[in-house]
Structure 1
Amino acid sequence: MSNHSDAPARQGPCVVVAGGGTAGHIEPALALADAVRRQRPDARVIALGTERGLESQLVPTRGYPLELIPPVPMPRKPTPELLRLPLRVRDSVRRTREVLDRVGADVVVGFGGYVSLPAYLAARGRTPIVVHEANAKAGLANKIGARFASKVAAATPDSGLPGAQVIGIPLRESITTLDRAALRAEAREHFGLDPQAPTLLVFGGSQGARSLNTAVSGAAKELAAAGIGVLHAHGPKNTLAVQEFAGPAYVPVPYLERMDLAYAAADAVVCRSGAMTVAEIAAVGLPAVFVPLPHGNGEQELNARPVVDAGGALLVADAQLSTDYVADRVVRLLTDEAARLAMSEAAQGIGHREADSVLAEMVLDVAGK
């Protein structure tokens, strides 16, 4: 898009999104960016990020300009770092303010994490702010940002942000418009899976998850004997040696580039329960066995809880996920089509497929004022 500095009037609004660090912050920001562009093709969307975050790879490949600012890591306990924090915050806020002025920001949309805090502080009192909280419990940056935001949106009802409108998590259009049945044959061919067998998808986030890898690969014999195919993303840093047994293919891959095809190929999934993962799986109506990360503040269990309570997923503690559990409970799920159908409907009842459009409307409304 050319930027005519000599043009007297700017066309559409300029939306700055701040959601760096992890995919859980960046993906919703990019889904919003796409939705803003669909509603206002003349809008400019610019992402804020840091050099070390995942955004330096994800944002440019999705076709959005990335403006780099100094990161402000959030120390969890008092350390010498904490004493240096005010200076680093001030520097980051100043640099962020320069970016907002230079691009002519009409609204700043923050998704939490260490890129959002300087964005909120830089925009405060100058540029309207919209906050989106994806997790079941709001983090520090969003708690601060929500205090002076024009609008606050959240994925779940009890995020801890007062006055938040519950809209779900903005998801990519390739996920929200996914027709799993229509894509199944192509998806299975793509991964080299059995075209007919009930198929289990396993993944543990971009890094993979050792306990998931061990439990599921250890049950390869029982899965094959039950006629179940497996697509298992073990994480680029891990290796997975799976013994071959007579039966449908067990396909290990380091990483899933095409999540849409992975979801379409599967009849059920075993995975972690990050907010983004839970939202995607509910939206596509995939029966799930959620295995929350055992560390942290129990947030992943909270993320999974609404879908589990609705009957759309099972929940198993990391310590309880064993080869025996997979050979028994997971095999039973994959060989019971009626149970999977009921879970699929329950999950879709919880999913928010339209969160991206709803948030885009909110953001453009605030920018227009």
Structure 2
Amino acid sequence: MVEVLLAGGGTAGHVNPLLAVADELRGRDPETGITVLGTASGLEARLVPERGYRLTEIPRVPLPRRPSADLFRLPGRLRAAVRAAGDAIDARGVQVVVGFGGYVSTPAYLAARRRGVPVVIHEQNARPGLANRLGARWAHSVAVTFPGTPLRGARLTGLPLRPEIAALVADLAADPRGVRAAAAGVLGLDPDLPTLLVTGASSGALSLNRAVAGAAADLLGAGAQVLHLTGAGKADAVHAVVDDVPGADRYHVLEYLDTMQHGLAVADLAVCRAGAGTVVELAAAGVPSVFVPLPVGNGEQRLNAAPVVAAGGGLLVADADLDPAWLRATVVPLLADRDRLSAMSAAARTVGATDGAARVADLVLDAAGERR
């Protein structure tokens, strides 16, 4: 039996590929020992136990990007987190540590290195974060989602897709009309109407919410329906704008959609951020997209979207340029252009691998084999 520790958390972008790899490993051998390292405040605190995996909590250790009070607290916090990660490795006799970046991964990488436990890294974004840049220096294997990601020894595996998304891709290939109709029934949508999906990822995005809600009259007036995922605590502001617009019964507002495969199945077009998970899942499902990269951070979201945009499967617009007027001029006519949407859908599907979970699991088992 192989004992694996998977480290990653905070956002869906880290947690979803982690769970996809865990499911792949368990699917190959139900006796595989899976421990997930995370924090009490991240999305993993809910999603990991719900999926049936053991969650071991460690202190959250943000790595300051500029001088601040947190910089002086870092050494003590990091020591405590590394100690906790090491205890988890020792308690389970872990043979390989798999990291997906983020606050949790750095302590796991350091604890594994001290014990001579091999590390496998998966980097979701085209531009890697601090944790994975550090861990890649001594990792056994480094897997990446996008070509050209600047990490030493990187292997292109694609993003590990959640099992429900991988199943959707297969189902769409076999019966796209039936899958769309079934998903529309679950969501209370009309399968025959052009459908716009709006999502700012798990946290939502105020700028997307404001812009699309501001264009609600034009979208609904053109005969479209909208599935708008606002993010936690952000639905009321959207309702306040759209509820009195003619046709508001076709504007569906949710804070979050646990069954995102249904949203992808009904969408003719998406307006969204460009986190790695969002880009890859939309492309795999063949959903044409308008990507609005997060305007802060290290610019990785623009790079994430670049392959799909270059292939013709999406458009790119700066956050500062997204407003109701832009949506009226660009998105409203695009939703009515079936031929163009069909071509964009086919182009999106040509980008990226859909067997990322299997490819990363191969690297994990190879590393565990060498450890044994």
Give the equivalent residue in structure 2 for 1:209. 205
- Consecutive unaligned residues in structure 2, runs of 5 or more: none
| Total equivalences in the alignment | 358
5+ unaligned residues in a row in structure 1: which ranges? Answer: 1-11
Which residue number in structure 1 is paired with residue 162 of structure 2? 172
Q: Higher mean Cα deviation, 277-286 or 49-58? A: 49-58
- Residue 73 (str. 1) matches residue 69 (str. 2): no
Which residue does 2:112 correspond to in 1? 123
CA contact under 8 A between 1:224 and 1:248: conserved in structure 2? no
Per the alignment, residue 313 of structure 1 pairs with: 314
Confirm or deny that 1:366 pairs with 2:362: no
Q: What SS does structure 1 have at the residue aligned with 2:87?
A: helix
What's 1:134 paired with?
124
Q: Which amino acid aligns with 2:52?
A: G
Q: Tell me the residue number matched to 2:9.
A: 20
Question: For the Cα contact (< 8 Å) 1:225–1:247, is it kept in 2?
Answer: no
Q: CA deviation at 1:318?
A: 1.1
Secondary structure of 2:350's aligned partner = helix
Question: Which residue in the other structure is 1:323 paired with?
Answer: 324
Looking at structure 2, the residues matched to 207 and 157 of structure 1 have their Cα atoms a distance apart, in angstroms, of 27
Q: Describe the SS at the equivalent of 1:153.
A: strand
1:151 aligns with 2:159: no
1:341 aligns with 2:337: no
- Partner of 1:112: helix, strand, or coil? coil
Of 21-30 and 175-184, more deviation after overlay is shown by 175-184
Q: CA deviation at 1:56?
A: 1.0
Aligned match for 2:27, one of 18, 38, 54: 38
State whether residues 14 and 101 of structure 2, in contact with CA within 8 Å, keep that contact through their aligned partners in structure 1: yes
Residue in 2 that maps onto 1:84: 73
Once residues 309 and 337 of structure 1 are traced to their aligned partners in structure 2, the CA distance between those partners, rounded to angstroms, is: 20
Aligned residues: CA RMSD = 1.5
SS at match of 2:364: helix
Amino acid at match of 2:293: P
Q: CA deviation at 1:247?
A: 8.6
Q: Partner of 1:222 in structure 2? A: 218
Instruction: Determine the C-alpha separation between the residues in 2 that align with 1:80 and 1:183.
Output: 52
User: What is the Cα deviation at residue 44 of structure 1?
Assistant: 1.2
Instruction: Tell me the secondary structure at the aligned position of residue 37 of structure 2.
Output: strand
Distance apart, 1:207 and its partner CA:
2.4
Which structure has the highest helix share of the two?
Answer: 2
Read off the aligned partner of 1:341 and give its amino acid letter. Answer: S
Question: Bigger shift: 170-179 or 208-217?
Answer: 208-217
Match of 1:4 in 2: none
CA contact (8 A) 1:207 1:237 kept: no
In structure 2, relative to structure 1, the CA distance for the partners of 1:85 and 1:248 (3 Å cut) is: closer
Question: Following TM superposition, by how much is the alpha carbon of 1:190 offset from its aligned partner in structure 2, in angstroms?
Answer: 2.0
User: How big is the shift at 1:70?
Assistant: 2.0
Q: Secondary structure at the match of 1:200?
A: strand
Contact 1:227/1:247 (<8 A) preserved: no
1:196 pairs with 2:196:
no
Q: Is the 8 A contact 1:130 1:152 kept in 2?
A: yes
Give, as a single letter, the amino acid of the residue that structure 2 aligns with 1:338: D
From the superposition, tell whether residues 248 and 343 of structure 1 become closer, same or farther in structure 2 (CA, over 3 Å): farther
Percent identity for Structure 1 against Structure 2 = 52
Counterpart of 1:118, as a letter, is P
SS at the partner of 1:350? Answer: coil
- Quote how far apart the aligned CAs of 1:18 are: 0.3
Contact 1:228 1:247 in 2 (8 A): no
Contact 1:203–1:234 (CA under 8 A) maintained in structure 2:
yes
- TM-superposed CA distance for 1:245, in Å, is 1.8
